Amino acid sequence: MSEPKLTKDRRLPGFLRDTHIVTIIGLMVLVCIIMMILSPSDFFSGKNLVSMIFQFPEYGILAFGMMACMIAGGIDLSLVGIMNLSGVLAALILKNMVQMDGTTVLNPGMVLPALILAIVVAIVVGAACGAFNGFIIGYFGLPAMLVTLCGLQLYTGLAYGITGGPAINGMCDAFKNIANGTIPGTGIPIVLLIFIVVLAAVVFIMKCTVFGHEIYFLGSNAKAAMYSGINTLKVTIMTYMFSGILGGISGILITSHLNSAKSSNGSTYTLLTLLIVVLGGIHPDGGKGRVLGVTLAVLLLQMIANGFSLMHVSQNAKTFANGCLLIAALVLSVVLEKRAEKKAAAAS
């Protein structure tokens, strides 16, 4: 259909007009330059790049869950709890089904069924935890921040109750390989492939499905969504389920990565994922943001963390630096928004 009146937008492609994305790319370049000056040989070595790839998928996937909930106008602080509960259950299944003597598997025929069951259970448990969050938030109209904070305690407590405290260690090599191995003959980490598949699924859901659009509608204006005939309770439950499923996948990855499952793994990830999504341009009030921004923010944060460890900066200093970044990202998002509003006002 050609309409003479409706002129086609002929400016830069969408993502380059998004100030957040431009900012992140700028910051990535900045980190590269700084690392080039400080320790060029280490940072750009192939070995270092591969080590980075092994690290970010587990929290990167969590960040997508956080992103979906924040776009829907909420937040998911329970993700780390879901991740550990799923991880602990997966580890438990593997330990019980696959009999080991040291590192030797005594019943190799059980490895594949155990792996599949562990993964399915982790994802189903993640979905169930998420659905529970979503139901409490949507049905009773409680603030997502409080509900998911309670959820974090609840799921962490459950995981602790199951392990009884000590970590579950020493799963079979096939499981360890998920997050530590490479695709045979290529040297490409399996986790990278998993991350890319998850990323593609997230992009597809957010952009090409009714559900994805409904998440944006809900976050932009929950009341208008209701008046537009969108079942807001259903969308809320589905959003947190989606987030929970990603938490479950992440649970598999971190348990495999550390070859150990306990209730307190990855406890810094709650803040880290929050930092990633805000930096990635997801508006704290909901309704706005792109998967691309979050993906770039995941990479940026990995680069910064990696830079810090190459320079032997202490964990405390890293935490401090992340706090500063989070504040800066929040302030920046408000400043950018105000500027955009002024521009829009001047243009009209």
Partner 1 sequence: MSEEIFLKLEGIKKSFGGVHALKGVDLEIRKGEVHCLAGENGCGKSTLIKAISGVHEPDEGSIWIDGEKVEKMKPMDAINRGIQVIYQDFAVFPNLTVAENIALNGELKNKAKLVNWKEIHETAAKAMEQVGAHIDPDVKLERLSVANKQMVAIGRAIVNDAKLLILDEPTTALTAREVEKLWAIVRNLKEKGIAIMIVNHKLDEIYRIADRLTILRNGAYVSSGPISEYDQARFTRDMTGKDISGEKYNAAASEEEILRVEHLTRSGAFEDVSFTLRKGDVLGLTGLLGSGRGEIGEALFGIAPAESGRVVLNGKEITIKSVADAMANDIGYVPEDRLTQGLFMQRSIQDNTIASSIRRYMKGARLDEQGMEDATKHWIKEIGIVAPSPKPAVRTLSGGNAQKVVIAKWLNTDPKLFILDGPTVGVDIGAKSEIHGILHNLAQQGIGIIVISDDLPELVQNCNKIVVMRDGKVAAEVDNSIDEISLSNLLIGANEEEVESK
3 belongs to the binding site for partner 1 (CB under 8 A): yes
229 belongs to the binding site for partner 1 (CB under 8 A): yes
CB within 8 A of 250, min separation 6: which ones?
58, 59, 61, 62, 65, 79, 83, 86
- Least Cβ distance, residue 124 to partner 1 (angstroms): 23
From residue 251 to residue 290, the character string flagging contacts with partner 1 as x (rule: CB under 8 A) and all else as - is: ------------------------------------xx--
Burial of 193: CB neighbours in 10 Å, binned 0-12, 13-18, 19+: middle
* Residue 243 near residue 69 (C-beta atoms within 8 A): yes
8, 46, 140, 185: which one binds partner 1 (CB under 8 A): 8
10 belongs to the binding site for partner 1 (CB under 8 A): no
From residue 286 to residue 305, the character string flagging contacts with partner 1 as x (rule: CB under 8 A) and all else as - is: -xx-----------------
Beta bridge partners, 101, equal 104
210 belongs to the binding site for partner 1 (CB under 8 A): yes
220 belongs to the binding site for partner 1 (CB under 8 A): yes
Q: How many residues bind partner 1 (CB under 8 A)?
A: 33
Segment near partner 1 (CB under 8 A); pick from 113-121, 187-195, 221-229, 310-318: 221-229
346 belongs to the binding site for partner 1 (CB under 8 A): yes
Pick from 250, 219, 85, 280: nearest CA to 163: 85
From residue 187 to residue 206, the character string flagging contacts with partner 1 as x (rule: CB under 8 A) and all else as - is: -----------------x--
214 belongs to the binding site for partner 1 (CB under 8 A): yes
177 belongs to the binding site for partner 1 (CB under 8 A): no
106 belongs to the binding site for partner 1 (CB under 8 A): no
**Torsions phi, psi of 164, nearest 5?**
75, 15
Which two three-digit tokens encode residue 306?
């990696």
344 belongs to the binding site for partner 1 (CB under 8 A): yes
* Residue 284 near residue 275 (C-beta atoms within 8 A): no
CB within 8 A of 335, min separation 6: which ones?
none
CB within 8 A of 312, min separation 6: which ones?
none
Which two three-digit tokens encode residue 255?
């348990």
9 belongs to the binding site for partner 1 (CB under 8 A): yes
- Least Cβ distance, residue 55 to partner 1 (angstroms): 32
Pick from 283, 200, 210: nearest CA to 18: 283
41, 314, 316, 348: which one binds partner 1 (CB under 8 A): 348
Segment near partner 1 (CB under 8 A); pick from 35-43, 80-88, 225-233, 274-282: 225-233
**Torsions phi, psi of 72, nearest 5?**
-75, 5
Pick from 27, 56, 71: nearest CA to 257: 56
The residue among 47 and 223 lying less far from partner 1, judged by its C-beta, is: 223
Which two three-digit tokens encode residue 40?
């060029």
Instruction: Enumerate binding residues for partner 1 (CB under 8 A).
Output: 1, 3, 5-9, 204, 208-210, 213-214, 216-217, 220-221, 223-231, 287-288, 344-348
